[in-house]
Chain A
Amino acid sequence: MAPATDLLQGTLDLLILKTLALESMHGWGIALRIQQISKDALQIGQGSLYPALHRLEYKGWICADWGASENNRKAKFYSLTRTGKKQLEAELEDWDRLTTAIALVLKQV
């Protein structure tokens, strides 16, 4: 396994929003999904996932509901709100702009 890359500052929010865009999910699920999709390249500190989730909830971008998990345990499920969807689009655009810009610079030099 290649050493996991540390997350870029501020990208955790984006990853959470993107993950939740497909379906509502509990914290464990989000962590697992990000790890799986990135093929273990992105290792999120599981501890830092929850403060981020709470922060987003307080901002009103995601909302939380208690529901039953796959193995029928009580779990907190997060889903994207309307503001959250708009925010995701805006952040994605920003991300695109940033990466294109960086790529341009890297190619040039």
Chain B
Amino acid sequence: MLNELLTRLRFFLARKAHREVDEELQFHLDQQIQANIAAGMPPQEAQRQAVIAFGGVERAREECHEQRPGYHIETLVQDARYAMRGFRRNPIFTVTIVLTLMLGIGATTAVFSVVDRILFRSLPYAHADRLVSVGLVAPIEPQEFMLGGSYYDWRDHQTPFAAFTSETGVDPCDLTQGTPARLSCASVEANFLPTLEVHPLLGRNFTAEEDRPNAPKVALISYGVWLSHFGRDPGIVNKLIEIDGNPVRMIGVLPKDFEMPRLQAVDVMLPQALDEAEQRKADPGRVMWAFARLKPGVTIEQAKAALQPVFDYSLQLAPLQFRKEVHLQVRSLRDRQVHEVRLVAWVLLGAVIAVLLIACANVASLLTARGASRERELAVRSALGASRARLVVQALTESIVLSLAGATAGFAFAELLLRIFIAIAPKGLPFLYKAEIDTRIIFFTILLSLVCGALFGLAPAFHKPRAQALAGRASLAVSHAALRQWLVVTQIAVSMVLLVGGALLFHSFWNLQNQHLGMHTESVITARISLGQRNYGTSERRMAFFQQLESRLRYGPGVKWLAVSDSLPPGGYHRDQIYARIAVAGRPKSRGGTGGQVAWRWISPDYFRALDIPIVQGESFKEEELTSNGHLLILSKSLSSRMFPDQDPIGQRLQLASSVPDDPWYTIVGVAGNVKNGGLADEDEPEYYRLRRNRPEDWNGSSAIIVKTTLPADVMERWIRSQVATLDPTLPVEIETLRQRVSQLADQPRFQTVLVGFFAATGLVLAVIGLYGVVSFLVTQRTPEIGVRIALGATRRDILRLVIITSLRLIALGTFIGLIAALVVSRVLSSLLFNIGPRDPVTFVLVTLLLIFVAIAATLIPARSAAKVDPIVALRCD
């Protein structure tokens, strides 16, 4: 085998001269002629017979030549060179194709690099396909979690997992040594990294002893911290750092690509050091998140079934009202990470592939048109002995050269698009900040462009040049036109689907943006401040800080109303409690389920004025009540009408945590209008407000200052910052206008709307260009016919109608197919849509009209030029 390869290589490098073959064949012929003469033939006849006996001399020579190793490479190079020559001769044609491909391939590459990690790329753990997230789901928390009270039972009695581990979340912590910094500290069980099969880059993992309460403190640091704080010093292992004022021994460094399974940012990893015995007894115990590695061959369904007994056991210990609402959840880690964005990712990928299809169809159509004008050339080559295969290979080479050029331009375009994506992307889209064009993406793009090239190259390539083409008359190329018409129908249909998707998302986004929030966001500025544990360890200190800040801000310039609250509507964090735990004075305790969640906030008296929330009954909290001992409450309208459907709520008394023995009774003083509190798109929860009095127990670490101002936002922002800085210069403040906050909540819908809208517009433009191309091609081909018609008395109007009817047939067919496809496909969007059905008739009608209108406009240009055909010129030409 090796021998043969070497021989081939030698011949590939040292080519045989053409002359050798010629001489050899000539020798053969001469011998035959001599033999014939010897047999008694006259010389001329001898030569004739010799050639007949030999067969085609030229053919034999060619075939000898084709045996050469490297012959195929040679033809390929030859074809590519020929293709380049052709493209240089026709630069506009070439640039159009490369630009179209750049759009298609570039957009696909950019979107692929964004969704790759969400949908396809494997997680950065060894054998990540066997990692699962395990836990309970409840109405309070739809993402599975565990409770310390059950976790250890599950861990001891589970059978389907090879390893079972937990983390207890990531909390802010302070590096209090050298340059102080706020870091994120993750707490994990000792077997956390081994379960994920992650090995520290440096040093070692925690031991089981270090994961006990009161064990000497140890930590693993992230690669980022190792780089930024320790300059990648390999000698840091076993050194001490100070975290939150305590010395901690660094025992290792996490790998560079390490990710927490729930994707939280992490700088330092600590053992969670829970007291196992205490947790087992506790009810409900510490909230934690559990992950497991499936034993080989065990499926997720089997694992879930196998966990059911321990789950049922845990459930029996839970309060009755919870039992029906808590479920067991076992799902792959990838599902846990991308649950919300998977659909968006697929929609984006689908949309961009649709654009790519339209682009490919356009290129195929252009190449077919070129094929029609090159028919004569192809016929000549065919007549000179080029085989069908040879012509097909040549056409494919041309299209692949084109698509590789498109891919190269596409890379640049993709880089640009990716930057735009990252700039407009919402925070919640996982992995986007990591998206980049790496070798994997490049490989994907090259593969994609080859597929594209084959796709749009094959269509014209299989068109057989006909013998008439040799005759020199311009042929009608009917079959070319038929293929292009089908391509256009497809393009229109695909862009119809894209447009419907884009329009639905846009309509939904519009609904989202223009809904009534229940408050007014104009000229409201919010400043969120989170006090660290170190300087503000007690509630007295926290209250003192906020009261000082409030008094500094209150009479400042341009402050109309000032309020302090612990959280802000309409989305994001707020406090929650279970409805069933609220007891009404004089009524028996409820015995149903949990009754769902009730949101609540600590507020200061001017909260409703600052946000312009109407008090619909009773009155707001008063300034003097801040120093009272009374427990006062304001309900939202929805909570009030649920609790007191036909009673006056004012003056009613409630217990908020009825299960706690001496929970105080709260008196309802007012009812406020409903305010969105579950984000923009989600269901709202009923809500109540508690007055934050001048008592330390009412104050916790983080608060938001709400200022209704008459000054411009940036002036106000600077002033607030300066006031905070005079109190504590190291304190971070997060200042935004309320409008910005609301707008951020719409980031993800905006992102998907902008992207799909962009793809729909691109698709439409490409499809319209395709339609224009085909119609003008048809017009050019029918010029003599149109000339005859005009000569015979057809009016301009007749000609216009003739052309438009041809194109209308294409438009109608494409729109019709597109409508049906859109009706089928739009259903996948339903969960992304807000206040609009996936088959919203208005959207469908508008999109159809838009498409038909634009398409007809594209037809009018060639149609008018057809109507202007001069019969004399038309009949003379050709």
Which residue of chain A lies nearest to B68 when distances are taken between CB atoms in the complex? A58
B3 at the interface (CB under 8 A from A): yes
Q: Which of A54-89 contact B (CB under 8 A)?
A: 54-55, 57-60, 69, 71, 73-76, 83
Docked pose: A47 CA to B52 CA in angstroms: 10
Q: Which of B7-52 contact A (CB under 8 A)?
A: 7-8, 11, 20-21, 23-25, 27-28, 30-32, 34
Q: Across the interface, which residues of A come within 8 angstroms of B54, CB to CB?
A: 46-47
B60 at the interface (CB under 8 A from A): yes
Known contacts A28-B31, A48-B55, A76-B27: does B7 contact A54 (CB below 8 Å)? no
Known contacts A46-B54, A54-B67: does B27 contact A28 (CB below 8 Å)? yes
Docked pose: A51 CA to B61 CA in angstroms: 8
Q: Mark A27-58, 1 if CB is under 8 A from B, else 0.
A: 11001000000000000011110110011011
Known contacts A45-B55, A51-B64: does B4 contact A60 (CB below 8 Å)? yes
Which residue of chain A lies nearest to B60 when distances are taken between CB atoms in the complex? A47
A26 at the interface (CB under 8 A from B): yes
Interface centre among A31, A54, A75 (most CB of B within 10 A): A54
Which residue of chain A lies nearest to B10 when distances are taken between CB atoms in the complex? A60
Task: Decide if B28 touches A60 in the complex (CB within 8 Å).
Answer: no
Docked pose: A69 CA to B68 CA in angstroms: 26
Task: Decide if B24 touches A50 in the complex (CB within 8 Å).
Answer: yes
B660 at the interface (CB under 8 A from A): no
Nearest-neighbour CB distance to chain B for A54, whole angstroms, equals 4
Q: Please tell me the size bucket of the interface on B.
A: 20 to 34
Docked pose: A51 CA to B34 CA in angstroms: 23
Task: Decide if B7 touches A58 in the complex (CB within 8 Å).
Answer: yes
Docked pose: A55 CA to B23 CA in angstroms: 18
Docked pose: A45 CA to B63 CA in angstroms: 13
Task: Decide if B55 touches A51 in the complex (CB within 8 Å).
Answer: no
Task: Decide if B60 touches A48 in the complex (CB within 8 Å).
Answer: yes
Known contacts A46-B28, A46-B54: does B63 contact A51 (CB below 8 Å)? yes
Docked pose: A108 CA to B471 CA in angstroms: 60
Interface centre among B28, B34, B53, B54 (most CB of A within 10 A): B28
Q: Across the interface, which residues of B come within 8 angstroms of A57, CB to CB?
A: 11
Nearest-neighbour CB distance to chain B for A66, whole angstroms, equals 9
B56 at the interface (CB under 8 A from A): yes
Task: Decide if B25 touches A73 in the complex (CB within 8 Å).
Answer: no
Known contacts A47-B54, A47-B55: does B64 contact A74 (CB below 8 Å)? no
B66 at the interface (CB under 8 A from A): yes
B140 at the interface (CB under 8 A from A): no
Task: Decide if B68 touches A47 in the complex (CB within 8 Å).
Answer: no
Q: Across the interface, which residues of A come within 8 angstroms of B23, CB to CB?
A: 74, 76
Q: Across the interface, which residues of B come within 8 angstroms of A46, CB to CB?
A: 28, 32, 53-55
Q: Across the interface, which residues of B come within 8 angstroms of A26, CB to CB?
A: 24, 27-28
B69 at the interface (CB under 8 A from A): yes
Q: Across the interface, which residues of A come within 8 angstroms of B66, CB to CB?
A: 51
Nearest-neighbour CB distance to chain A for B408, whole angstroms, equals 36
B59 at the interface (CB under 8 A from A): yes
Docked pose: A12 CA to B66 CA in angstroms: 18
Nearest-neighbour CB distance to chain A for B501, whole angstroms, equals 56
Interface centre among A51, A69, A75 (most CB of B within 10 A): A51
B317 at the interface (CB under 8 A from A): no
Docked pose: A26 CA to B63 CA in angstroms: 18
Nearest-neighbour CB distance to chain B for A70, whole angstroms, equals 9
Among B11, B31, B34, B56, contact of A58 (Cβ-Cβ < 8 Å):
B11
Nearest-neighbour CB distance to chain A for B871, whole angstroms, equals 57
Task: Decide if A28 touches B7 in the complex (CB within 8 Å).
Answer: no
Known contacts A46-B55, A58-B8, A60-B4: does B60 contact A28 (CB below 8 Å)? no
B861 at the interface (CB under 8 A from A): no
Task: Decide if B67 touches A75 in the complex (CB within 8 Å).
Answer: no
Q: Across the interface, which residues of B come within 8 angstroms of A55, CB to CB?
A: 67
Which residue of chain A lies nearest to B11 when distances are taken between CB atoms in the complex? A58
Docked pose: A60 CA to B4 CA in angstroms: 6
Task: Decide if A51 touches B7 in the complex (CB within 8 Å).
Answer: no
B181 at the interface (CB under 8 A from A): no
Q: Across the interface, which residues of B come within 8 angstroms of A69, CB to CB?
A: 27, 31
Docked pose: A84 CA to B20 CA in angstroms: 22
B57 at the interface (CB under 8 A from A): yes
Task: Decide if A73 touches B30 in the complex (CB within 8 Å).
Answer: yes
Q: Across the interface, which residues of B come within 8 angstroms of A83, CB to CB?
A: 3-4
Task: Decide if A60 touches B7 in the complex (CB within 8 Å).
Answer: yes
Docked pose: A60 CA to B9 CA in angstroms: 11
Among A45, A47, A58, A75, contact of B27 (Cβ-Cβ < 8 Å):
A75
Nearest-neighbour CB distance to chain B for A11, whole angstroms, equals 18
Interface centre among A50, A57, A83 (most CB of B within 10 A): A50
Docked pose: A40 CA to B7 CA in angstroms: 35
Among B6, B24, B59, B63, contact of A27 (Cβ-Cβ < 8 Å):
B24
Q: Mark B703-723, 1 if CB is under 8 A from A, else 0.
A: 000000000000000000000
Nearest-neighbour CB distance to chain B for A26, whole angstroms, equals 7
Known contacts A45-B55, A59-B7: does B32 contact A28 (CB below 8 Å)? yes
Nearest-neighbour CB distance to chain B for A6, whole angstroms, equals 14
Q: Across the interface, which residues of A come within 8 angstroms of B31, CB to CB?
A: 28, 69
Q: Across the interface, which residues of B come within 8 angstroms of A74, CB to CB?
A: 23, 27
Nearest-neighbour CB distance to chain B for A96, whole angstroms, equals 24
Docked pose: A45 CA to B69 CA in angstroms: 23
Docked pose: A76 CA to B19 CA in angstroms: 12
Task: Decide if A50 touches B63 in the complex (CB within 8 Å).
Answer: yes
Known contacts A28-B27, A76-B27, A83-B3: does B67 contact A58 (CB below 8 Å)? yes
Task: Decide if B56 touches A50 in the complex (CB within 8 Å).
Answer: no
Task: Decide if B4 touches A27 in the complex (CB within 8 Å).
Answer: no
Docked pose: A58 CA to B8 CA in angstroms: 6
Docked pose: A54 CA to B65 CA in angstroms: 8
Nearest-neighbour CB distance to chain B for A103, whole angstroms, equals 32
Q: Across the interface, which residues of A come within 8 angstroms of B59, CB to CB?
A: 47
Docked pose: A96 CA to B68 CA in angstroms: 31
Docked pose: A41 CA to B716 CA in angstroms: 107
Among A31, A48, A59, A76, contact of B24 (Cβ-Cβ < 8 Å):
A76
Which residue of chain B lies nearest to A73 when distances are taken between CB atoms in the complex? B27
Docked pose: A54 CA to B30 CA in angstroms: 20
Nearest-neighbour CB distance to chain A for B27, whole angstroms, equals 5
Q: Across the interface, which residues of A come within 8 angstroms of B57, CB to CB?
A: 47
Nearest-neighbour CB distance to chain B for A57, whole angstroms, equals 8
Q: Across the interface, which residues of B come within 8 angstroms of A47, CB to CB?
A: 54-57, 59-60, 63
Docked pose: A58 CA to B4 CA in angstroms: 8
13 A-B residue pairs with CB within 8 Å: A27-B27, A28-B28, A31-B28, A47-B55, A47-B60, A50-B28, A51-B63, A51-B64, A55-B67, A58-B11, A58-B69, A60-B6, A60-B7
Seen from chain B, the residues whose Cβ lies within 8 Å of a Cβ on chain A are 3-4, 6-8, 11, 20-21, 23-25, 27-28, 30-32, 34, 53-57, 59-60, 63-64, 66-69
What 9 pairs across the A-B complex have the smallest Cβ distances?
A: A60-B7, A47-B55, A51-B63, A47-B60, A28-B31, A54-B67, A55-B67, A46-B54, A54-B64
Taking A48-B63, A59-B8 as known contacts, 19 extra A-B pairs with beta carbons closer than 8 A to each other, sorted by chain A number, are A26-B28, A27-B24, A46-B32, A47-B54, A47-B55, A47-B57, A47-B60, A48-B60, A50-B21, A50-B63, A51-B66, A54-B21, A58-B11, A60-B4, A60-B8, A69-B27, A73-B27, A75-B27, A83-B4
